[in-house]
């Protein structure tokens, strides 16, 4: 119960049940700030529940139960934070909560089972969860809505058990148990008749992996053959750094735009596109500024504050929502203020780490745990090291052609796949370059055991880390399924390394072993 | 004048009472404890819904 960073024994808040004992006392100013943000989230949720169709959806869709845990998700990502770090986290998370609430409201408005607003549904285009939404940057009157984001992606952030039911359903229907649980859960939602039905058309993509493609096949079959929603398969090249694939990638974008125009009757709007492109550039510049700070002794926007926000802003928002530009500027101002004061987010920084690989989705607050428990500063993560290319933002005939290539580039460089696909250089070589740039002495290497894209590189990672004298800590997990590797199982891999190799004691020993097996 | 003061004091009392109640809910995590208690009933309800489950 103190104002100072690191004064609380954070493990004492845990219970063996779903939720924590109580919220933190962070000193008067920070507690009042956190309380005011909690009130704001309660107002967002209250406003959401005031709409009868949202209540109807709450009782129709199983995944909606996970939204009961929204405030706790924010608490988990603000654990131990004070001052500017707390404000950065709330700026991001509160905005994401608001954005997801709007996404849900739009989906239910158009959903044939819930709101059944037919005219509105004709203005909706379904997009994949793991898909850059760049092809929607020129359609100001259309809504690009992702059913998978609200039914699988966000629920697992809120509740580690969120999609277990859907994984079981998918396996009951014969899908293999060792595929990536993300597309498996998405397919499970569709098989279990638990996806909203809406939209003039859908744009699916291959941007994640072959597992995702197979999941999309299951979903597309139902969408096209039963629901009458035509699907376009946007196939972005895998060797995305090669010049000879770019024309093909650009043609895919042209085809996707033509498909949307054909099925919605809307026309591509270049003015709106360049407005969005300018906002994407602001987001890129902001992110580059934060990463520059993280190369110094006083990193400011890192851990979950960098990872989750970048994922949302880069992929799902893609310049379309002006509020994110305001948030980018606010975060930068807060970070610069903290940097000038030489502030630190934890009482002790012991190691500087690059977090690589595909993160465990059911344990996204692990990055904060690394910091609070062992003083490991997660300077940046693989999913935040995305495209830094500046998009053309002035409307000229030449730039219209460049813009097609820019959208293709963004689509090819979707979060995660820009590293898991594209070859040796993007996954291995650049990791060591980042270690040098960020002066990192550790790599926390997520090993998503069902991801076939990374498993082949295991030995090479170890060999190259050894050559460079970098501590490489493997952290195995199963992305959406904590039954395979629990959160404690994730923590134990770091605990063992820190104790046996470094011979260190934790900064906060109450965090080393936590009874959070049943926790949301 | 007295009446205005009465209104101001009543408003202040209401605001204070609201603050005390909401801050108690916030600090002791009562909102999450309540929703955690609701979750099992919702899950049972979802199990009862008839679905057209198929590949």
Rounded distance between C-alpha atoms, residue A11 and residue A80, angstroms: 11
Determine the longest span between alpha carbons in chain B, in angstroms: 74
Rounded distance between C-alpha atoms, residue A316 and residue A221, angstroms: 24
Domain boundaries, chain A: 10-511
Residue A7 has pLDDT above 90, yes or no: no
For A442, the 3-state DSSP assignment is strand
Chain B contact for A18 (CB, 8 A cutoff): yes
Which residues does chain B have within 8 Å of residue A19's beta carbon, measured at their own beta carbons?
29, 32-33, 36
For A378, the 3-state DSSP assignment is strand
Mind listing the pLDDT tens digit for each residue in A43-76? 999 999 999 999 999 999 999 999 999 999 999 9
CB nearest to B38's CB, from A25, A38, A68: A68
Tokens of A8: 């609380």
Rounded to 10 deg, the angle between the A164-172 and A181-191 helix axes is 80
Confidence of residue A290 (pLDDT cuts 50, 70, 90): very high
Q: Strand A124-127's sheet: what is its strand order?
A: A143-145, A124-127, A201-205, A231-234
User: What b/e sequence results for A268-283 when a residue is b if at least 16 CB atoms lie within 10 Å of its CB, and e otherwise?
Assistant: bbeebbbbbbebbbbb
* pLDDT recorded at residue B39: 97
The answer to whether A458 and A447 have CB atoms below 8 angstroms apart is yes
* pLDDT recorded at residue A499: 98
Residue A423 has pLDDT above 90, yes or no: no
Mean pLDDT of A112-138: 95
Rounded distance between C-alpha atoms, residue B54 and residue A459, angstroms: 41
Chain B contact for A234 (CB, 8 A cutoff): no
Q: Which of A303, A310, A483, A455 is nearest to A377 (CA)?
A: A303
Residue B36 CA to its chain's centroid (Å): 13
Residue A212 has pLDDT above 90, yes or no: no
Q: Percent of chain A at pLDDT above 70?
A: 100
* pLDDT recorded at residue A211: 80
* pLDDT recorded at residue A83: 96
Q: What is the CA radius of gyration of chain A?
A: 22
Q: Which of A386, A387, A346 is nearest to A367 (CA)?
A: A346
Which residues does chain A have within 8 Å of residue B24's beta carbon, measured at their own beta carbons?
none
* pLDDT recorded at residue A191: 97
Q: Identify the residue whose tokens are 């690989």.
A: A357
Domain boundaries, chain B: 2-48
Average pLDDT over chain A reads 95
Mind listing the pLDDT tens digit for each residue in A74-119? 999 999 999 999 999 999 999 999 999 999 999 999 999 999 999 9
Pairing mode, strands A143-145 and A124-127: parallel
Mind listing the pLDDT tens digit for each residue in A344-355? 999 999 999 999
Using CA atoms, how far residue A419 sits from A179, A205, A384, A459, in Å, is 19, 17, 11, 17
Q: Provide ipTM, 2 decimals.
A: 0.94
Chain A contact for B30 (CB, 8 A cutoff): no
* pLDDT recorded at residue A1: 65
Rounded distance between C-alpha atoms, residue B15 and residue B1, angstroms: 21
Give the count of beta carbons closer than 10 Å to the beta carbon of residue A262: 13
What is the per-residue DSSP string for A3-47? SSTT-S-GGGG--SSSS-S-PPP--HHHHHHHHHHHHHHHHHHHH
What is the per-residue DSSP string for A88-156? HHHHHHHHHHHHHHHHHHHHHHH-TTTT--HHHHTTEEEE-TTS--GGGTT-TTSEEE-HHIIIIIHHH
Nearest 10 degrees: Cα torsion A477, A183, A427, A485: 0
Using CA atoms, how far residue A182 sits from A407, A463, A482, in Å, is 25, 30, 13
Rounded distance between C-alpha atoms, residue A335 and residue A330, angstroms: 9
Chain B contact for A169 (CB, 8 A cutoff): yes
Which residues does chain B have within 8 Å of residue A58's beta carbon, measured at their own beta carbons?
42
Chain A contact for B50 (CB, 8 A cutoff): no
Tokens of A420: 């898991």
* pLDDT recorded at residue A361: 94
Residue B47 has pLDDT above 80, yes or no: yes
Lowest mean pLDDT among A174-178, A406-410, B26-30, B49-53: A174-178
| β partners of residue A341 | none
* pLDDT recorded at residue A314: 94
Q: Which of A451, A488, A471 is nearest to A366 (CA)?
A: A488
Using CA atoms, how far residue A174 sits from A52, A218, A439, B40, B55, in Å, is 37, 12, 47, 28, 9
Nearest chain A Cα distance for residue B3, angstroms: 31
Interface test with A, best of B18, B23, B26 (most A CBs within 10 A): B26
Tokens of A485: 């590797």
Q: Kindly state the helix (H) or strand (E) to which residue A355 belongs, with its residue range.
A: strand A351-356
Mind listing the pLDDT tens digit for each residue in A314-342? 999 999 999 999 999 999 999 999 999 99
Rounded distance between C-alpha atoms, residue A225 and residue A52, angstroms: 30
């Amino acid at each position: 119960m103190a104002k100072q960073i690191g004064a609380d024994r954070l493990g004492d808040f845990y219970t063996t049940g779903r939720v924590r004992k109580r919220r933190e006392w962070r000193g008067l100013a920070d507690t009042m700030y956190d309380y005011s943000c909690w009130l704001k989230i309660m107002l967002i949720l209250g406003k959401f529940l005031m709409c009868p169709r949202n209540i109807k959806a709450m009782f129709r869709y199983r995944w909606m139960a996970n939204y009961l845990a929204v405030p706790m998700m924010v608490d988990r990502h603000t654990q131990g934070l004070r001052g500017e770090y707390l404000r950065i986290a709330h700026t991001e998370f509160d905005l994401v909560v608001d954005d997801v609430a709007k996404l849900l409201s739009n989906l239910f408005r158009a959903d044939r089972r819930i709101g059944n607003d037919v005219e509105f549904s004709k203005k909706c285009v379904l997009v994949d969860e793991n898909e850059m939404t760049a092809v929607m940057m020129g359609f100001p009157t259309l809504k690009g809505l992702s059913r998978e984001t609200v039914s699988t992606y966000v629920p697992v952030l809120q509740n580690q058990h969120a999609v277990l039911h859907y994984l079981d359903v998918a396996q009951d229907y014969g899908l293999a148990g060792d595929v990536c649980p993300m597309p498996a859960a998405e397919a499970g939602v569709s098989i279990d008749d638990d996806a909203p039905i809406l939209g003039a058309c859908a744009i699916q993509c291959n941007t994640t992996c072959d597992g995702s493609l197979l999941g999309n096949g299951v979903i597309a079959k139902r969408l096209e053959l039963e629901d009458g929603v035509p699907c376009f398969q946007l196939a972005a090249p895998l060797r995305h750094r090669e010049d000879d694939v770019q024309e093909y990638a650009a043609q895919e974008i042209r085809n996707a735009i033509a498909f949307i125009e054909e099925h919605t009757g809307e026309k591509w709007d270049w003015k709106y596109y360049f407005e969005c492109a300018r906002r994407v550039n602001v987001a890129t510049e902001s992110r580059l500024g934060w990463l520059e700070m993280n190369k110094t002794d006083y990193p400011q926007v890192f851990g979950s504050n960098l990872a989750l926000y970048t994922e949302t802003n880069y992929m799902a928002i893609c310049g379309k929502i002006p509020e994110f530009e305001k948030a980018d500027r606010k975060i930068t101002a807060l970070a610069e203020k903290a940097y000038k004061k030489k502030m630190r987010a934890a009482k002790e920084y012991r190691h500087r780490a690059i977090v690589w690989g595909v993160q465990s989705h059911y344990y996204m607050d692990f990055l904060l745990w690394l910091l609070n428990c062992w003083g490991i500063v997660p300077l940046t993560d693989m999913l935040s090291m995305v495209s830094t290319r500046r998009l053309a933002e002035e409307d000229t005939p030449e730039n219209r052609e460049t813009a097609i290539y820019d959208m293709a580039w963004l689509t090819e460089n979707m979060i995660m796949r820009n590293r898991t696909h594209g070859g040796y250089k993007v996954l291995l070589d650049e990791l060591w370059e980042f270690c040098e740039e960020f002066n990192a002495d550790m790599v926390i290497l997520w090993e998503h055991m069902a991801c076939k894209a990374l498993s082949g590189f295991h030995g090479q990672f170890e060999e190259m880390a050894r050559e460079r004298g970098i501590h490489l800590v493997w952290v195995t997990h199963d992305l959406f399924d904590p039954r395979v590797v629990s959160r404690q199982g994730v923590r134990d891999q770091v605990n063992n390394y820190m104790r046996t190799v470094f011979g260190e004691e934790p900064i906060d020993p109450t965090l080393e072993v936590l009874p959070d097996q049943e926790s949301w | 004048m007295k009446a205005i003061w009465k209104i101001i004091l009543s408003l202040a009392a209401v605001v204070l009472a609201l603050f005390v109640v909401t801050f108690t809910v916030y600090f002791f995590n009562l909102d999450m404890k309540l929703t955690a208690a609701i979750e099992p009933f919702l899950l049972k309800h979802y199990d009862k819904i008839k679905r057209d489950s198929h590949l």
